[in-house]
């Protein structure tokens, strides 16, 4: 159980690499242009698609990634494929504030919910999701909502509604990959609200 908890922390720390990807995206966008920045993201996606081809089609065990794949994900596409796809869609379709809110909620909300749920969660809420995980994710997402609202000067209610949408989506999905569903659902809701207000 203790090893599983630390293993989960290791898996979630990988999620933090999205921050590096976002920093590089905006640096490239500012220096070279938006198309170059998106080509960089697509290049990363292609690299991971090749790695997944090696892992799934050729059945090769990749030393680094193999350690962080859950048993139920062993024969499925790794979450980074969905997360990079969602990142490309979010940054291309949504306003910057909405895209960042959706991606950061996906990253940090899921990370803290999973760690808290594994460590302290005893009461189940829905399927394999715990009450403490749900509450931790909601609080994390609300903190991100406030930061995004202050930093981008957008109506506070928009990222707050996104925080609830992200948390509920994360809680409801199990087989569907949350790395794709959460940022697209919460981002779509946030963008619609911006257009409507």
pLDDT, one tens digit per residue, over 145-182 is 999 999 999 999 999 999 999 999 999 988 888 999 99
Domain that includes residue 159, residue range: 2-196
Q: Considering the entire predicted model, what is its pTM? A: 0.88
- Report the share of the chain in percent with pLDDT over 90: 60
Query: Is 71 strand, coil or helix?
Result: helix
Distances 117 to 12, 62, 74, 166 between C-alpha atoms, Å: 13, 28, 22, 17
Evaluate whether 86 touches 180 at the Cβ level (below 8 Å).
Answer: yes
Task: Report the C-alpha gap between 165 and 160 in whole angstroms.
Answer: 9
In the chain, the number of structural domains is: 1
pLDDT, one tens digit per residue, over 36-89 is 999 999 999 999 999 989 988 888 877 766 566 666 667 788 788 999 999 999
Q: What are the residues facing 130 on neighbouring strands?
A: 124
Helix segments in the chain, DSSP class H: 2-15, 17-31, 34-52, 63-66, 79-93, 96-104, 110-120, 131-152, 157-172, 178-196
């Amino acid at each position: 159980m203790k090893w599983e908890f630390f293993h989960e922390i290791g898996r979630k720390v990988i999620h933090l690499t999205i921050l590096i990807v976002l920093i590089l995206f905006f640096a490239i966008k500012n220096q070279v242009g938006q198309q170059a920045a998106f080509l960089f993201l697509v290049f990363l996606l292609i690299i991971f698609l090749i790695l997944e081809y090696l892992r799934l089609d050729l059945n090769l065990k990749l030393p680094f990634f193999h350690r962080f794949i859950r048993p139920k994900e062993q024969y499925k596409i790794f979450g980074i494929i969905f997360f990079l796809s969602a990142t490309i869609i979010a940054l291309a379709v949504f306003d910057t504030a909405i895209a960042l809110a959706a991606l950061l909620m996906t990253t940090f909300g899921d990370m803290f919910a999973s760690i808290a749920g594994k460590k302290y969660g005893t009461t189940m809420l829905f399927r394999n999701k715990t009450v403490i995980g749900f509450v931790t994710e909601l609080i994390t997402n609300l903190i991100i909502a406030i930061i995004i609202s202050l930093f981008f000067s957008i109506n506070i209610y928009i990222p707050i509604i996104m925080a609830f949408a992200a948390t509920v989506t994360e809680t409801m999905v199990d087989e569907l990959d949350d790395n794709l569903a959460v940022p697209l659902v919460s981002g779509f809701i946030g963008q619609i609200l911006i257009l409507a207000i």
